[in-house]
Amino acid sequence: MKDNCILTAESVTEGHPDKLCDTIADAVVDACLTQDAAARVACEVMATAGKIIAAGEITAAKIPDIPAIICRTVREAGYGGSDYEVEVITHEQSPDIAEAVCGGTETGAGDQGILYGFACDETKELLPLPVVLAHRLTRLLTDTRRQDIIPGLRPDGKAQVSVEYRSGVPYRVAAVVVSCQHEDELPLPELRRDILRHVIRPAMQELPLDEHTEVLVNPSGRFVQGGFEADTGLTGRKLMVDTYGGLAPHGGGALSGKDGTKVDRSGAYMARYIARNIVAAGLAKRCTISLAYAIGKAQPVAVTVDTEHTGIYSDDVLEQAVRTVFNLTPDGMIGTLGLDQPMFQKFCNYGHFTHADAPWEHGYDRGAGMCLSCQGHGRIAPITEKARERSSLAGVLSLHGILECLAGLESRRFGSGDFNGGSGGGILAGAGDALLHLEGAKAQQLYLVTGLQRSLQRVDKRIQSGVTVLLGQAAGFRHGGDQFCFIHRVSSPSYLK
C-alpha cells in the first residue's frame, strides 16, 4: 500500500438484489445442514422482475422446502407483498466429484481454487477502515428503515467510502456516497438531510467528516423502483463487498451457497482466520494469507504469507508456523471453524468478516501457538523503532489455549533467584515466548509474550491482570513465593482437539 493515497470500499444492504440472492442461497445451505451435517450443497439463485430461480447440486439426507425458504427470505429482506414466481431446479452432486471428494481416507477439496485472507491493525475489526465504514453505513441504512427512523426508506441500498491516507495511516474521509431506495412521496432534500443526520454522521464518528469531504446522497436523483424488480440479482456478484472491498487480493470464487467442502468458502474463511490470528498476536501489522487447492486433494498445494515487511518474523518463518499450527485440509477447516453447522445466512450480509461472533473472527485462538512455533523456527527481527511501534498488541491465553500450547513443547526452568521487581529489574522474554506460572509441577496459568520491552516491576503488575508484554532475552524468576518460567523454544508442537 502506498503511504499517501485514497482507498475506497463499498457495501450494499441485504435488500440489494445480489445480496438477496446470496442470502437465499445461504438459507438453503443452512436448511440442508440442519437436517444433515454432511450435506453437499452448491446453490445458485437468480432474482429478476416477477421470478426467482434457485438451481444447483444438493446431496443431503433430506431436501428442504426451497420455495418456502425463498418466500420467507424475500419477506424478511423487506419485500413483503412482492409478486413473483418461484422455480427450483436441483440435482445431486456429480458422482465423479463426489468420489474425488469423499472417496479417500480424507475429505478432498470440492474444487480447485486460490483463496486469500487478510488482516491489518487499522481497526478493531482488523480490517481496512474504508471497509468498516462502508459496512457501518449500510447497516445503519437498514436499521433506520426497520425502526422507521426515516419513514419512506425501502430495502435496496448501497454505500461507498473513500479514505485519504497519509504516511500509511487514515487521515480523513475524502468522500461518502449513499444511494437508498425510497417511497415516491419522500422529498429528495428531506431524504438527503435525514440520511446525513441519522446514517452518515453516526457512522463516521471514528473519522468525522470535514469541510472538504464530498457527501453524495442519491446522486442520480430518484430511486423509487429497486430490488430485483428493477435489477436482476445473482449469487456471487458482490465478492469485494463480502471480503476486503478490493483492498486485498481475491481468488474469484464466491462464498455463499456452498457447504464447507468447497474451499471457495472454507479456505477463504480459514485464510482470514489465520491472518487475523497473526495480526491479533502482534506478529505483523498487516498480513495476507494465500491458500491453493486441487480438486479431490486434502492438503493445499501452496501456502504463502505476505506481511508487507511489517512482520516481527520473516514471512518464511510465519509460513512454517502456519503449516504447523493450522490443519488446512477440508476436514480440518470444517472442524476448526464448525462449518458443518447451520450458520451461514447469519453472516452473509455486511461483509463476512465484520461479525465478531463468526468462528473465523476469533482472532486470539491460535495466536499463542503461532508465537511459540515462530520462536522455534526463527530468530526475532532486531528491535528497531518500527518494530517497537508494531509490537503493541498483547495476547491473552484461555485455559484451552494453555492445553494447546503445552502439548509438545520443550520448556526450560531458570534460576531460583528472588527478584524484587524494582524499576531496574531486567527480567525479559522474547516475543513468541510464554510465561508459565507453576505451582509445584502443575501449570497454573500461561501468559503470552508478544509486546514491548518492560521492567520486572511492570511484569508483576501485568501478571496480576493476566497479560505480560515483554521483549528481550528469556529468563525465569521467583516472586512472592511463586515460581515462573519462560517456555522459550518449540520442539515439535502439536495441538489438542
Residue pLDDT, tens place only, 70-97: 999 999 999 987 789 999 999 998 888 8
Name the percent of the chain lying above pLDDT 70: 74
User: What are the beta bridge partners of residue 446?
Assistant: 436
pLDDT at 432: 40
Query: Average per-residue pLDDT in the chain?
Result: 79
pLDDT at 83: 87
In whole angstroms, give the CA distance from residue 174 to residue 239.
24
Condensed to tens digits (0 to 9), the pLDDT of residues 5-16 reads: 999 999 999 999
- 143 pLDDT higher than 90: yes
Question: Dmax of the chain from CA atoms?
Answer: 80
pLDDT at 378: 54
- 401 pLDDT higher than 80: no
pLDDT at 491: 28
pLDDT at 17: 97
Per-residue pLDDT averaged across 254-260, rounded? Answer: 96
Q: Which residue has the higher pLDDT, 177 or 432?
A: 177
- 452 pLDDT higher than 50: no
- 394 pLDDT higher than 90: no
- The torsion angle over the Cα atoms of residues 475, 381, 169 and 280, rounded to 10 degrees, is -50
pLDDT at 370: 79
Task: Out of 122-136, 375-389, 461-475, 479-493, pick the least confident.
Answer: 461-475
- 471 pLDDT higher than 90: no
- 408 pLDDT higher than 60: no
pLDDT at 386: 36
Per-residue pLDDT averaged across 217-242, rounded? Answer: 95
Which range among 34-43, 382-391, 413-422 has the greatest average pLDDT? Answer: 34-43
Regarding pTM above 0.85, the answer is no
Which range among 93-107, 361-375, 396-410 has the greatest average pLDDT? Answer: 93-107
- 327 pLDDT higher than 90: yes
| Residue 266's pLDDT band (cuts 50, 70, 90) | very high
Give Cα 342 to chain centroid, integer Å: 18
Q: Which residue has the higher pLDDT, 97 or 389?
A: 97
pLDDT at 80: 85
Contacts (Cβ under 8 Å, ≥6 apart) of 117: 268, 269, 270, 271, 272, 273, 274, 275, 276, 288, 289, 291
